[in-house]
Structure 1
Amino acid sequence: MPAKASQARRSTAPAPKIHAGAAAAFYVLDHQIGFALRLAHQRHCALFAARIGDAELTPTQWAALAKLWQTGPTSQNRLGRLTGMDASTIRGVVNRLIKRGLVDTRPDKEDARLLLVGLTREGTQLYRALAANALEISEQTLAPLGKDERETLMRLLDKMR
């Protein structure tokens, strides 16, 4: 089916209420938001793997490094919230970054019960070395879109968070 015809069938209006038994006739996977987001995410992850410049670094690890660069040392719990990762995921990410010597943990000077995660010298150097690659990956991910479309997409995604 031509792209324009496919796009013409998509609607931004709320889906009509459909009887559960009839839903199967109306459900088209290619027109579902989750499917479209997953395909876009897969494309972005493929670009990331090919272009980040560190074969061991994952997008979630990069997110943690980038957020630590922006915020400075913070608790693992807060880092998880800031990067959209649940507790077990951020724990694994931090542990792998510790093993690579890119982050370390230290007690909070104001609250000894709290452990802060922060970039090491190696983590800071890696972040600085790869930041331009990460910007290029974002650029390539959005390459099919014009400037206004990019702004609209980001605004709409922000609205959905």
Structure 2
Amino acid sequence: MMTSKTPPLSATAAADAYVLDDQVGFLMRRANQRHLAIFSEGISDLTPTQFAALAKLCELGAVSQNALGRATSMDGATIKGVVDRLRLKDLVASTPDPDDQRRILLKPTAAGWDLFEAVAPTAHQITQDTLAPLNDAEQTIFLLLLQKLT
């Protein structure tokens, strides 16, 4: 039984219609590269993932590594590596969970708190600099749309 759907584009027509510069993944990657460059200029002591983990720990307090990974949208292997590097920098400490000795809780050290408090204003500025090409209304819409995509 035939339907009246539009026939698919031929491979050549589809390739001709595809413009990389207009694709969402390409544009998001370029925007992310811009943000990462701004971040590295402002905060050189931490990677963006290290900063995210430290900031979330300062926000939440003591949490398990798994919970921290979920809260920062990092998979198990990534959060383990991030936490290991934060430990090496003496920014994060681990202690046994008093309610479950099998679980380890992570928390910021005094040095971790000090660093976070020192760079938090810069992190705010990084966000402002990243969004600077947009006016206030566009920034609000852009952030709402990003949240909707995640």
TM-score (normalizing by structure 1):
0.85
- Please list the CA deviations of residues 73-129 of structure 1 after superposition, one character each: whole Å capped at 9, or x if unmatched: 111111111111111110000000000000011111111111111100000000000
Among 8, 12, 19, the alignment partner of 1:28 is 19
Matches within 5 A, 1:7-156: 18-52=9-43, 55-156=44-145
Higher mean Cα deviation, 108-117 or 129-138? 108-117
Distance 1:135 1:27 in 2: 37
Displacement, 1:139?
Answer: 0.3
Displacement, 1:20?
Answer: 4.4
Note the aligned Cα RMSD (angstroms): 1.4
Distance 1:62 1:122 in 2: 13
TM-score (normalizing by structure 2):
0.92
Displacement, 1:51?
Answer: 1.1
Displacement, 1:22?
Answer: 3.0
Partner of 1:4: none
Distance 2:45 2:113 in 1: 16
Percent identity, aligned pairs only, is 49
Q: How many matched pairs? A: 144
Secondary structure of 1:104 counterpart: strand
Displacement, 1:23?
Answer: 1.7
- Please list the CA deviations of residues 28-70 of structure 1 after superposition, one character each: whole Å capped at 9, or x if unmatched: 0000000100001001100011112xx3310000000110011
Partner of 2:5: none
| Runs of at least 5 residues in structure 1 that lack an aligned partner in the other structure | 1-16
